[in-house]
Structure 1
Amino acid sequence: MSETGTNDDATDRRLRLLIGLVVVLGLGVASVWAMQSLRHPDPRPPAALLALLCATVVVAQRWRVSVRIKSSLLGTAWDEVPVLVGLALLPPPWVLLCAVTGQGLLKIATRSGVRKTAFAMAKETLAVSAAAAVFLAFRIRPDPDTPYVPVLVLVAAMLAFAVTDQLVFLPIVATDTGSSIRQAARQNWTGTVIGHLGQFLACLVALWVLATDANVLLLLVVPLVVACMHLWQSRTTRTRQERESWQRLAKATDELNAVDLTQVLHSATTRAAQIFSAAEAAIDLTAGGADRTVRATESQVLADSPLTGEPGRAGETTVDLVAHDGGMRVGVLRLRFGGTVRLTEVEQYKLRTFASAVCTAIRNAQAYAELARIAAENEHAATHDPLTGLPNRRQLYDRAGRLFTDTGQDGLVALLLIDLNHFKEVNDTLGHAAGDDVLREVARRLHESAEPGDLVARLGGDEFAVLLTGLPTPALASHRAAAMLGALEPSIEVEGMRITVEAAGGIALAAGAGSVEELMRRADIAMYQAKRAGEPTTIYAHARDTADVDRLMLTGELRRAVSRHEFTVDFQPIVDLGSGEVVSAEAMARWKRPDQGDLTPVQFLEAVERSGQLPAFVDAVLEQSLLAVQTWREAGFDLPVAVNVSPRSLLDPNFPAAVLARLERHDVSPGRLVLELTETLTLSQIDVVERTLAELRNAGVRLAVDDFGTGVSSLSVLSRIPVHELKIDREFVAAVETSAEAAAVVRTTVDLARNLHLTVVAEGVESEPQRRALWELGCLAGQGRLFARPLSAARLLGTLQRGSGGRPGVLASALHEAGAVVRMPARRASGTGRSSLPHLPA
């Protein structure tokens, strides 16, 4: 049996006990009156007078001003008037008989049931007996002709009647509604007092008319007085009820303005029970897969549990929770009363209004919860690696940064940088899915072997980092690192094969590092030292740091160089090898140091990447390159520009948006920008930057692979990156005349590009024989000192304007006579959108 069912049974038992007690008392009192009548019989009054009194009691009982407390009606009846007037006219036993008979007839006519009928008759017996006892105590003799009742006696009799009636009725109401007797008594007490005053006035008028020689027609004033008092009291009571009810509804609506769904449901159910005077209110929530039910009284929540799908109970009032705008149905609001209750039209409207507010509050709370869930997921995704679930580089840097600023940190802090040896072979041999399985297993082992307080992160590819905290001595860092690498020694089963993972680790102590970037740099140096030495781990030692003083000075000067615009960009033209016409230019960054002259990217790019100034550096190069494109275009030379991009820039999710914003600011078409990627990109880096490159390519930016042929994963890179152009490394171009192997590399690259519909550009063309050899092998474009060394944007524009042989835009004579070579129209390969022949940027 449910909790509610148990409570209902207990309440019913108490009600039966109280009603039985009242009925027994009523029978006892009635028996006393019967014995008294038999011992001292009174003459029987006229039957017409008895019938009139009985009918008056029925009408007075029906004429009631009621107020609902939960499922019960507590109100002021007007049966005291006929009873008190009757006691002044007739002997008490006959008055009691008429009052009880009238009550019984009324209950039978309204089909109130045996229990209610017996209770009403017993209650009337006790109340009339109390008033009659007052009359007898003051020795008031009934007289139909000239009734006389002192005002004091009338007041005392009325109080006795009312107090007895309330003492009998209030415990029943309190038990039925689950409230206290005091709460039940306080309901409508002002209306009750005013009603008794009206009854007292009606009794005085009736007795005065009957006791004097006044016109009997004045008795008609009594019903008028009663009617007026009744109408006034009814209107006052109902007005007050409605005002209080709407105030409770407004307060409840304010409480529903919460973002927590549980708070909304608990507040809605308790307030519903209070507003509609229900024994219990429940909300069955079905929207959003919630399947939840909440039940409550006006004072407490009874249950908050999964929805059971039980059918509704008899006597329940239900309303669907549907938003006022016709939105989806989120559930059902159920009100259970102690008996059959019919809500008035105003109450039904109020219930619909409340249900709409509850529905809106539930939808708002669910929407807020969904937004909070999405925000939490986004926050988690921003700080965690999607493959392994470990914290990523961002979270590692944040945590390390807090440790650097925490002066109360216990113990030392160290960074362990771990790189897997020969992991590329797993990807190349077993595929990337198997490689992902290996990375997940490595992440799991590292996480399980870490000490509490340590942070294990994946930086990307096959590189992991562990932030070791709470180290009592520096030597313990080596022991902790050895234990973690030892966890990787057991073989891993992948696709039915057992493989062994080897790793190298570099350890750097935070003490003396100065910054998170420097700590990472030192751990990186130590890790590569471990790889070269064949050791599992190595601790960073300043004496073995290969970074010289000049590089450290560069790192310190970078911020100043960015702020003072010491980075400049020169441009080397890219030329059609056959015609000598300039078709594009490559941007080459330079650092003009005031005291040491120009530095090339080879000399400072690593320092830029390690210093955290890479975004500002890339932004400066792009800005100058696009300004140059604008200048050339205004002069009549619409040339694309190629800009080298570091793989670390592609790891920045904001990089594509920054590039496209620059293009829009300078009104340069995305197709006029070529981003050159180093061919030595590792596959693990490609996994990370693939989405960034796809976003740029989809926007129209062209992509090129620089130094093609020098890496070990050329075909893998081409299969993963949607490029437009290949640039042959200068070492193959330099040997193309003398080395059959170099010529074979160039020929193979050209054939590969032709099949993939890519453009090929040769770097480092220094002589006419090299140019002719490249042309004969099928390479259509090249750059090098044969045509021009890197020049500033203005000097390159002057060179283009002068041209060669009086031809602007041409830097070398043609290798063939005009008309000797006929260019066929470029065919489009189906589904690729690329030309079927090698072509140069438009």
Structure 2
Amino acid sequence: MRKAHSSHDNATGRQLSLLIGLVVVLAAGVAMIDLGYAITRPQPFPHPGLLALVLVGAAIANRVKVYVRMRSSRDGTAWGEVPVLIGLVFLPHGWVVLCAAAGVAVVKIVAGTAPHRAVFSVAKEVLTASTASLVLTLAGVNVTADPPASTILPVTLAYLAMWFVDDLVFMPVIAIASRTTIAQVARKDLGGKLIAHAFRLVVIIYVIEVLASGSSPLLLGFVPLLIACLHLWHSRQLRTKEERRSWRELAKTTEELSSVELTQVLHVAATQGARVFSSDVVEIDLTASGIDRVVRAHGSEVVYDGPGPRAFAGVSEITAELETTDRSYQAGELVLGFHGKVKLNEFEQYKLKTFAAALCTAIRNATAYAELQRLNEQNAYDAAHDPLTGLANRRELYEHAGTHFRGSPSDGVVALLLIDLNHFKEVNDTLGHAAGDAVLREVARRLADAAAPGDLVARLGGDEFAVLLVNLPTPALATHRAKTMLAALEESVAVEGMQITVEAAGGIALAAGSGGVNELMRRADVAMYQAKRAGQQTATYVHAQDTADIGRLALGGELHRAVAEHEFEVDFQPIVDLGSGEVVAAEALARWHHPEHGSLTPMEFLQTVERSGRLQAFADAVLDQALDASDLWRDAGFDLPVAVNVSPRSLLDPRFPEAVLSRLSRHAVPADRLIFELAETLTLSQLDVVGKALTELSEAGVRLALDDFGTGVTPLSVLSHIPVHQLKVDREFVGAVQTSSEAAAVIRSTVDLARSLHLTVIAAGVESEPQRHALWSLGCLAGQGHLFARPMSAARLLATLQRGTAGRPGALATSLHDGAAVVRMSRRRSSGTGRSALPHLPA
């Protein structure tokens, strides 16, 4: 911008220099012609006094002007034609031209005018005076021989010629300097100029007629007074017009300042300010609200808009504070720069103050509007984005997905990936919400980085995220993209000096032909829970598997009624000594006796319970029924421990251990008669979180069993994290113990590990006598399964125990030993440090 302005100024300077040079050359040529004429036709030297009058008159007439400010110079109408034309009528023309040029030169030198301007003014004076001399010479004017009236027409023609040459020379210079057209300069105040020229011509003719007729010199006495009156009248007329024009310009500029865009306000003020105040440079130094911004304009062009400081280096600077009339708001400063010495009159000062106040108000309004617009944009952004992670929120996801649903089919396949972080609540409960927020932000960052261009990553709330996959060439690519995004979460997250592993499950749903965004979200949710149940990282929605999912979702609204009306009942499956066939414990298995769907297993409703907020009420109901059963059996002479499955989410509640011990005391059940079973598929991060509760329960005497042992990935690490008393071999290995050497090896290694750690091993899912014998031969002491009994109510189990097998109460199977081979070991209850209360049978 600066270079453009500099080149423009250079071009203007070159044009002015060429034009001034041309005028000077023409004037020099005319002067040479006048000099040659004077030499070839010598004229008598006129009276020195008359020449002095011409010189002084020309000097005074060119000094006293009607000034009108135009840009950086003062210009207007002068009376220089009067003494020059009168002198040309009565004196030798060469001397008059010389005296006129000398008078102008003296004035310019005294005024300290720049040399190039002074030379131009002298050259212009030579041209205009020589033009009038030529006209009068051609007309043959001789005031001594001709009657006075005969000089009127030649003098008028000479004056018109002077006027024409003066405008012909001067107007192009003004047009170039002011960057306007010659026509605009010519039309400016044309009526006033005509009146002024008419007055001057009348004065010139009157003075010539008086002097030529030999009338009394007293008749010339009122001429200076007449000139002064005309001068004052014309000055007033021009100033009045200029003031009116200035007010119109100011009003127009003020109206243009009503924009609500700050940059437009500053640019309009800078460019229009130069026009309103005829300044060379306008600078606006904006400092409101800590802003450092300078806008600079030369004429009608903004040449700089950026940080300060101001850079004008002219002769005069006039500064106005940008403040409201009550000084309640200050925006900065307005600076008018002039290359020459300028002093504003009272009217101009008031106009500048008015302009500054209007500009300040416009700046305040534009600033307030910008702030309001920023707040609106911020509110719109906040309404569409998650405040914690900066990702799109649910609303933005729905709107974005809706636009793709309405798009062209050629845009490709649209799919939704729904991501849920596994066991994230444990992070919040253990490390605090600040650490949980840090994990969520890191997850959001990784998902956003892994997303393909055009995909939208959103946080739906809590630990749920969604990714709208768009422009997929084929549906199969959705699974590939989903795995890529979930792979980005595999690297551990460092939080408060700890390395936390983030595990997630994702459900993928392709955009359906009907149902819109809501149906797409529902299908992705169904697929996500399918992945969780299957222990997979991702799952794609399959319509054939949707019925169960819909039913499970419907169950969530019925949990409150189920707990209140005791629809949850507990059955018990006995745990049997594999060698003797005697019952040594029982596992509590909850059932939901639904009025419409019948008996539902935990696999069908447990996840719904865990996500509903009714988990604590459900767990309390199951525990109460289990302890009631223990009381019932003990009163009948069967002191059996009871095993109850516990959800990791229950262990996250710091009040859970106290609540369990309180219930044990209320039912008068010893703590070692209660066994809590945990799934071995728990991750290390989960075990770290729930370890405190498990340790507290173990120290109180409650025993812990690790369920589904062998299906996890870090069994030794798991055993080192929690105080385990029992290992429960998964039914998958038990079912294959006869046919698979690998399954048998797993069971044998589990037994060996348990013996070294003084733990008891229980086999789940024993279905046949051959399996019982195989397990016994591998060293497994206890088991449960349909071989011995199916789950049954507490009362029915008591009746079964009392009835026994082969006349042996408490036994559900025949002994694998003859009577002499069996050595009875008394049951012993575990102490605070004991590991097992199940009987140890000899190998």
Is the TM value for this pair above 0.5?
A: yes
Q: Which residue of 2 aligns with 1:299?
A: 300
Q: 1:680 to 1:91 in 2, by over 3 A?
A: farther
* Structure 1: distance between partners of 2:673 and 2:273: 88
Equivalent residue for 1:713, pick from 643, 647, 652: 652
Percent of pairs identical after alignment?
50
Q: TM-score, length-normalised on structure 2?
A: 0.63
Classify 1:553/1:335 alpha carbon distance in 2 versus 1 (closer, same or farther; 3 Å). same
What one-letter code is carried by the residue in structure 2 that aligns with 1:450?
Answer: A
Q: Could you tell me how far apart the structure 2 residues matched to 1:247 and 1:499 are?
A: 73
For residues 687-728 of structure 1, the C-alpha deviation after alignment (integer angstroms, 9 at most, x for no partner) is xxxxxxxxxxxxxxxxxxxxx99943334999xxxxxxx9x8
Q: Tell me if 1:169 matches 2:170.
A: yes
Residue number in structure 2 paired with 1:751: none
> Could you list the per-position Cα deviations for residues 808-834 of structure 1 after superposition, in whole angstroms to 9, with x for gaps in the alignment?
xxxxxxxxxxxxxxxxxxxxxxxxxxx
Q: Secondary structure at the match of 1:736?
A: helix
Farther off after superposition, 383-392 or 216-225: 216-225
**Closer/same/farther in 2, CA of residues 119 and 545 from structure 1, 3 Å limit:** closer
Which of 711, 714, 736 aligns to 2:666? It is 736
User: Kindly tell me: are residues 16 and 412 of structure 1, through their superposed partners in 2, closer, same or farther at Cα, counting changes over 3 Å?
Assistant: closer
Q: Which residue of 2 aligns with 1:331?
A: 332
AA at the equivalent of 2:666: V
Q: Quote the Cα distance in structure 1 between the aligned partners of 2:405 and 2:555.
A: 24
* Partner of residue 36, structure 1: 37
Shift of the 16–529 alpha-carbon distance from structure 1 to 2, 3 Å rule, reads closer
Q: What is the aligned partner in structure 2 of residue 274 from structure 1?
A: 275
Contact 2:59 2:104 in 1 (8 A): yes
Note if contact 1:69-1:184 (Cα within 8 Å) is conserved in structure 2.
no
Secondary structure at 1:413 match in 2 = strand
| Cα pair distance change 1:402/1:100, threshold 3 Å | closer
Q: Counterpart in 2 of 1:812?
A: none
Deviations 1:303-325 (A, max 9, x none): 22332454754323222322323
Match of 1:375 in 2: 376
The SS at the match of 2:76 is strand
1:774 counterpart residue number: none
Q: C-alpha distance in 2, partners of 1:548/1:417?
A: 15
Does the 8 A contact of 1:506 with 1:525 survive in 2?
Answer: yes
1 CA distance for matches of 2:388 and 2:69? 63
On the 8 A contact 2:314/2:338 being kept in 1, the answer is no
1:249/1:167 CA distance change after superposition, 3 Å: same
Contact 1:91 1:142 in 2 (8 A): no
Which residue number in structure 2 is paired with residue 395 of structure 1?
396
User: Is the 1:273–1:298 contact (alpha carbons within 8 Å) kept by the matching residues of 2?
Assistant: yes
In structure 2, what is the Cα distance between the partners aligned to 1:120 and 1:466? 79
Contact 1:737 1:743 in 2 (8 A): no
Displacement of 1:282: 2.1
Equivalent residues of 1:322, 1:355 under 8 A apart: yes
- Residues 734 and 429 of structure 1: is their aligned pair in 2 closer, same or farther, counting only changes over 3 Å? closer
Secondary structure at the aligned position of 2:208 is classed as helix
Q: Distance in 2 between matches of 1:361 and 1:647?
A: 57
Aligned amino acid, residue 42 of structure 1: Q
Contact 2:271 2:282 in 1 (8 A): yes
Following superposition, the deviation at residue 37 of structure 1 comes to 2.8
Q: 1:113 to 1:422 in 2, by over 3 A?
A: closer
Q: Are positions 1:318 and 2:319 aligned together?
A: yes
Shift of 1:273: 1.0
- Given that 2:314 and 2:340 are in contact with CA atoms closer than 8 Å, whether structure 1 keeps it comes out as no
What is the aligned partner in structure 2 of residue 354 from structure 1?
355
Provide the C-alpha distance between the structure 2 equivalents of 1:102 and 1:311, rounded to a whole number of angstroms. Answer: 35
For 1:405 and 1:433, the matched residues in 2 are separated by 40
> Are 1:736 and 1:742, in contact at CA under 8 Å, matched by a contact in 2?
no
User: Is residue 281–residue 312 contact of structure 2 (8 Å, CA) maintained in 1?
Assistant: no
- The change in CA–CA distance for 1:404 and 1:219 in structure 2 (over 3 A counts) is same
Q: Distance in 2 between matches of 1:26 and 1:207?
A: 27
Distance apart, 1:679 and its partner CA: 6.8
Match of 2:795 in 1: none
Aligned pair in 2 of structure 1 residues 166, 279: CA closer, same or farther (>3 Å)? same
- Structure 1 CA distance, aligned partners of 2:265 and 2:110? 45
Deviations 1:14-37 (A, max 9, x none): 655554554454344334333433
Alignment CA distance shift 1:170-1:548 (3 Å): closer
Show the 5 A alignment for 1:650-799: 711-715=650-654, 736-739=666-669
> Where do residues 595-674 of structure 1 align in structure 2 (5 Å cutoff)?
none
Partner of 1:536: 537
- SS in structure 2 opposite 1:511? coil
Q: 2: distance between equivalents of 1:342 and 1:444?
A: 63
Structure 1: stretches of 5+ with no match in the other structure: 559-566, 571-596, 599-609, 611-645, 649-675, 682-707, 719-725, 745-842
Partner of 2:242: 241
Does residue 510 of structure 2 align to residue 522 of structure 1?
Answer: no
Match of 2:719 in 1: none
Larger Cα Rg: Structure 1 or Structure 2? 2
CA distance in 2, matches of 1:532, 1:393: 25
| Contact persistence 2:417–2:524 (CA under 8 A) | yes
- Partners of 1:732 and 1:742 within 8 A in 2: no
User: In the alignment, what sits opposite 2:159?
Assistant: 158
- 1:268 is displaced (CA, Å) by 0.9
C-alpha distance in 2 between matches for 1:51 and 1:530: 114
In structure 2, list runs of 5 or more residues that go unmatched.
Answer: 565-594, 597-607, 619-646, 675-843
Mapped to 2, the partners of 1:149 and 1:328 lie a distance apart of 71
What letter corresponds to residue 379 of structure 1 in structure 2?
A
Q: Report the secondary structure of 1:32's partner residue.
A: helix
Q: Distance in 2 between matches of 1:159 and 1:53?
A: 20
Report the AA paired with residue 525 of structure 1.
V
- TM-fit CA distance, 1:249: 0.9
Q: Distance in 1 between matches of 2:311 and 2:339?
A: 19
Maintained 8 Å contact 2:294/2:310: no
Give 1:230 shift.
Answer: 2.6
Q: Deviations over 1:358-388 (max 9, x none)?
A: 2222222222222222222222222212222
CA contact (8 A) 1:393 1:457 kept: yes
Which amino acid in 2 is paired with 1:137? Answer: L
Coordinate RMSD, CA, aligned: 4.4
2:653 alignment partner AA: S
Aligned length: 606
Question: What SS class does the counterpart of residue 303 from structure 1 fall into?
Answer: strand
* 3-state secondary structure, aligned to 1:543: helix
1:262 match:
263
- Distance in 2, Cα, partners of 1:336 & 1:483: 64
Per the alignment, residue 85 of structure 1 pairs with 86
- Per the TM alignment, residue 514 of structure 1 is displaced from its structure 2 partner at its CA by 1.6
CA deviation after TM superposition for structure 1 residue 202, in Å: 1.7
1:348 shift after superposition: 1.5
Partner AA of 2:87 in structure 1? G
- Residues 138 and 296 of structure 1: CA distance in aligned 2, closer, same or farther (over 3 Å): same
> What's the secondary structure of 2:651's corresponding residue?
coil
**8 Å contact kept, 2:526–2:549:** no
Provide the rounded CA distance (Å) in 1 between the counterparts of 2:57 and 2:147. 20
User: Distance between the aligned counterparts of 1:485 and 1:679, measured in 2?
Assistant: 32
Distance (Å, rounded) in 2 between the aligned partners of 1:717 and 1:52: 120
Per-residue CA distance 1:315-363 (angstroms, 9 max, x = gap): 2322232232313432322222232222221111111211221222222
What is the distance in 2 between the residues matched to 1:161 and 1:106? 20
Q: Give deviations 1:388-431, integer Å, cap 9, x for gaps.
A: 21111221222234444557674443322111223344445555
Asked if the contact 1:148–1:211 (Cα under 8 Å) also holds between the matched residues in 2, the reply is: no
**Partner AA of 1:370 in structure 2:** E
Verify the 8 A CA contact 1:680 1:710 in the aligned structure 2: no
Which residue of 2 is the match for residue 385 of structure 1? 386
Partner of 1:440: 441
Q: Note the alpha carbon deviations across 1:152-206, whole angstroms, 9 max, x for none.
A: 3222211211122223333433444444444433333332222111112222322
Q: Is the 8 A contact 1:15 1:172 kept in 2?
A: yes
Tell me how far apart the structure 1 counterparts of residues 79 and 615 of structure 2 sit (CA, whole Å).
101
1:451-478 Cα distance to aligned partner (Å, 9 max, x none): 3332211122221111223345544433
SS of alignment partner, residue 714 of structure 1: coil
Confirm or deny that 1:506 pairs with 2:520. no
- For 1:69 and 1:510, locate their aligned partners in 2 and report how far apart those are by CA, in whole Å: 71
In the alignment, does 2:97 pair up with 1:96? Answer: yes
Call closer, same or farther: CA 1:262–1:463 in 2, change over 3 Å. same
Cα deviations across residues 561-588 of structure 1 (Å, max 9, x unaligned)?
xxxxxx9xx9xxxxxxxxxxxxxxxxxx
